Every structure is written in C-alpha cells, then in structure tokens.
A and B are shown apart, each in its own frame.
Chain A
C-alpha cells in the first residue's frame, strides 16, 4: 500500500534530513509541538470523548456502513505529511494528528464505536482511482469539491471551508496580496488547487510547482520565487514556525473540502452527512478544529459550511 507514494516518502525523508541539517547549523527554530508535547495526548482525548455513535438501525443491511462494521476498520486515504491536517508524528509513527485525521477517527467511532482507522497514504493523483476500485472507504485529504471531480466520485460535506492565500519572505514589502503577483515567479504545491487558481487570477504569473510543502517553503526562502500560494491555514502554520516567512492579504479563493466517497453511493453519503451534522451539534467538530487548525490562528471557531452548499456536493 505504500508503493504509490514511495517517491514522495523518499522525497520527504531527504528533505527532512536536509531541513534538520539546515536548522541544526543555522538557527534556533523550534519544531511544531515542541512545547506542548506533554498535554497533547490529553487534548486529543477530549476530541473523542463522548463522540456520537450511530445507532444500529442506521447501519443499513447491505450498505457500505455494514461492510465497514463487519471489517472492523475504516480504511481512509489521508496524507501523512500535512501539518495541522494529517501529519504522522515523527516521534510516534503510529499516531497521525490533525483536523482531517481527527475527523476520520470520529467517523470510525460513529460507525464502529472505536477509532479504528487504517490509513492508506494517498497519492493525490490517484484519489479517484482508490475510491473507484474500493482500495479505501473514504478520502479525507483536503479534497476540494469540484463539479468535474463530482462526475468521478461523490462528496459528502463540505466539512470545512478554506482558501488560498499568499506568503512571501518577511523582508518583502512589495507584494501585499494576489493582485501584486503580475509577472512574478510564484511557487505552488503540486497537486494543490493553487496550480489552477493562480493562472486564473493572475495569467501573467510564472508558476512553479513543488511536490511537498517543505520543498515549496525552502524554494521560496532560497529565492526561486517571490511568493508562495497555498492554503491559508497551512501558510499560517508555516509562518508561525518560521519568522522568515509571512502571510500577506486575505484568502482569495474558497476551497470547500469534502469527504470523497465512491460515486453514486447515496446511502453512505447521506449517512456521512448525518454524521457531520451530529458532530457539529455535539461540539466535536469545533473541538477538533480548536486543537488542530485553531492553534495557529487567533480567530474564533469558524461556522461549519452548510452540507451540500457547493456545486458537486
């Protein structure tokens, strides 16, 4: 199951090594989670305490839910390298932390009564195929709902709404937002919505895509581009950890993230939508946000987007 992502994993390993070597000799940058390692476990547990569990009559006979319940694990496609969303803990490889990861566990609790999740690291390139050939049950992978994708897979949700923003080096006072990127070298993450969104907004920008977020940040700091366009929350987290980088302007797109499901599984889709409403009502959604994405912004818990409110969901 790791085969498709071996390259990415290797890339990550090398970069991590390079990054370690660099930070070791250049600065005193603290790693995310350094200070609150001790109370992290307690925090995570509060996310799952009293999480809603589906009553037996909701697990329809012959449905995907029943299949998952019989198997005893929920198979989820989610990243291992997305900070705050779904990141493997470097000191404890069994633990994957973040907003997507917590929601996946909450869904597993809803179906199975316990957070039994088997993670298949997705190649972002093959999420649709993994759903179509039953490799995974659901995809939690900052999966933006689009009408084109909705022709191949179904989306429950949206469960979260984010947007793309612009980051620059701290000493750059020239770029104040997306409108200042005319004719500039712009870095984006490969396989992120920015790949298509930046040329749409600023046709004259020269876009270079790097495979991972650490690679893109490194490229920005080394001057391969003047700006880095990426999900606002991810940038905020990067900027919080690294003072040589800052976020400018406000998000310029709306990215509704959905839960990818096999196409035309209407039963499973409405089951998951009901679950989303349940965790929003019980406060577990807000709790998951507060302990993950919420740790890098000062803003209040956002309102969860309305289920089915975007084309394709």
Chain B
C-alpha cells in the first residue's frame, strides 16, 4: 500500500499549501514582473538602471539563499513574518525577475512603428504602454510565462527547508516513518508533474485564445 494514500489527509493539506503558494506567488510575480519590465523600457534612466539591477540580482542569487536570508536574517533586522508569507514574498520577488525577462522579450516583438503611431495619435507614454505595447507584448509571451510559472510551482518545494509544511515537507515526514523513499518520492514527483502539466496546458489554452494574427 502506498504510504501517501494512508496519510491522504496530511498530503492533501500540504498540497493545498503548495498550490496556495504557487497561485499567490504566481499572480504576484506576474504583476511585479510587468511593472519591472515597464521600468526597464521606460525613458527614465534611473528606473531603467534600477530595473536592470533588480533583474540581474534575483536571477543570479539562488532561491534557497534568498529564503534562508529572509527567514533567518530579517528577524535580526527586526522584521519577522510567519513562515509561509515569508516564503511567498521571496518567491514573488525572485520569480518576478524571470517574468520581467520574458515580458521584455515580448516588448521587443512590438514594432517601433506601433509606439510611434500611438504617440502620433496623441496618447501619453503611459497610455501607449498600457493600451498598445503591453497587451501585444503579453500575448506574445504566454508560453514563456507559463514555463516560469511551472518553475515557480516546483520551486515552492524549497520552502520545506525553512519550515513551511508544503508537499515536499509532508512527504519527507511520511517517509520518516514508512521508510520507502523510492515509492514515496516518485509518488510526490507524479503529483508535481500533474501540477506542471496543468499549468502547461492552461498556458497553451490561453495562448491560443489570445493569439493575434499579424
């Protein structure tokens, strides 16, 4: 008998935490990532530099290091949040860097003439970004953002190292008693695969739905 089925309640509760983290951090990172991209393509030099620094920092520092710093270093600086929100915030700022890179490549697919035309029509810069450039850019990068979301869902497992009881932590706990690592961790792998597949298929549907014929 599969020990994960014997502990179904614990597994489902932990899966709920994993999904909660993935969804909240997913939405958060897309919002933040788009804002970073806007800063990155803005005409204000300081914003461009700051956005570039942000993306480079979070792409080059491992997520586990960020998690450990947020959980163990921030309390010494007088800032202590519960574990799950801390992990979600770290996931948001980390994955936002990847989202920003994906969206930036989408911005590059929008022809310069589009922006020139929108300015010629009298739209302000904010309006042209919001109404002309970003809608087209986002449509072009649905699949890459889907991939970032899959990576984010897998990355939630690292939160187990800082005490968040998500799927990986729960599975570890079950294995501690049942001692059948290969069976238990393959089963957990199948669950993660299901999550990735669901995100991938959803991204595919959205992409077909919002596709534009140029």
- CB within 8 Å of B: which residues of A? 7, 10-11, 14-15, 18, 22, 124-129, 132, 146, 148-149, 151-153, 187, 190-191, 193, 195-196, 208-211, 215, 218-219, 222-224
Contacts and interface: CB of A to CB of B under 8 A. Distances in A.
Which interface residue of B62, B69, B163, B185 has the most chain A CB atoms within 10 A? B163
Contacts of B182: 129, 132
Interface of B: 62, 64-65, 68-69, 71-73, 75-76, 80, 83, 158, 160-163, 165, 169, 172-173, 175-182, 185
Contacts of A190: 160-161, 163, 169, 172-173
Contact of B177 (A132, A148, A218, A223): A148
B73 A211 contact: no
A14 B162 CA distance: 13
Contacts of A223: 75, 80
Contacts of B176: 124, 191, 193, 195-196
Contacts, number: 90
A210 B175 contact: no
A7 to B, nearest CB: 6
Dominant SS among interface residues on chain A: helix
Given A209-B163, A215-B162, A222-B76, A153 B69 contact: no
Contact of B64 (A11, A124, A129, A210): A11
A122 to B, nearest CB: 11
A126 to B, nearest CB: 5
A191 B68 contact: no
Given A190-B169, A195-B173, A209-B169, A11 B161 contact: yes
A210 B163 contact: yes
A18 B73 contact: yes
A128 B180 contact: yes
B149 to A, nearest CB: 22
A148 B83 contact: no
B106 to A, nearest CB: 32
Contact of B76 (A22, A126, A209): A22
A10 B162 CA distance: 13
A66 B177 CA distance: 33
Contacts of A218: 72
A224 B162 CA distance: 11
B72 A219 contact: yes
Contact of A211 (B65, B161, B173, B180): B161
